[in-house]
Amino acid sequence: MPSPMEVIASGLSAARLRVNVLAANLANAETTRTPQGGPYRRRDVVQIAQGYQSTFKSALDEMTLGKPVISAVIEDKNEPKKVYQPGHPDADKEGYVAYPNINVVSTMTDMMSATRLYQANVTALDTVRQIETAARSISNT
């Protein structure tokens, strides 16, 4: 079973990566040309819980504990948004420009959520440290 510090550290790492991916999506929301060709493709973080079965014989027998793990960062495969802008340098023959399929409002909402999750993990880390310090001081008396 992972220690509380391992779970929190994994959560911090996962939240940080999620914030970074969301920030990259926001920064590239209007990018119509990339080195790979075409518009920027939105990226999404796939997060799973790495499970550990409880070893305690109690009401928790069926509980699975886990720490968050990033399994992949995937690229959106949906078609880009097409906007009619015939004067744009990246417009196609019909005058349409392909823009990334990024909803700025929902991405900002996701970023706020990921930031709050990161802050919650920092608070949990501080709490675990305080508990460990209190436990050491009690055991030394």
Question: Over the stretch 84-134, which tens digit does the pLDDT of each residue have?
Answer: 999 999 999 999 999 999 999 999 999 999 999 999 999 999 998 899 888
Confidence of residue 45 (pLDDT cuts 50, 70, 90): very high
Instruction: Check residues 55 and 85 and name the one with the higher pLDDT.
Output: 85
Q: In the predicted model, is pLDDT for residue 63 greater than 70? A: no
- Sorted by sequence, the CB contacts under 8 Å of residue 90 that are 6+ apart come out as 32, 33, 97, 98
Q: What pTM value is reported for the model?
A: 0.80
Confidence band, pLDDT 50/70/90 cuts, at residue 51: low
Q: What is the mean pLDDT of residues 27-52?
A: 89
Task: Report the percent of the chain where pLDDT is more than 90.
Answer: 64
What's the one-letter identity of residue 54?
S
50: number of Cβ within 10 Å = 13
Query: Does 56 score more than 60 pLDDT?
Result: no
Question: If pLDDT is split at 50, 70 and 90, which confidence band does 41 have?
Answer: very high
pLDDT reading at 57 higher than 80 = no
pLDDT at 64: 55
Query: Is the separation of the CB atoms in 76 and 41 below 8 Å?
Result: yes
Q: Can you list the alpha helix ranges (DSSP code H) found in the chain?
A: 4-27, 104-139
Residue bearing tokens 């744009």:
88
Q: Is the pLDDT of residue 53 over 70?
A: no
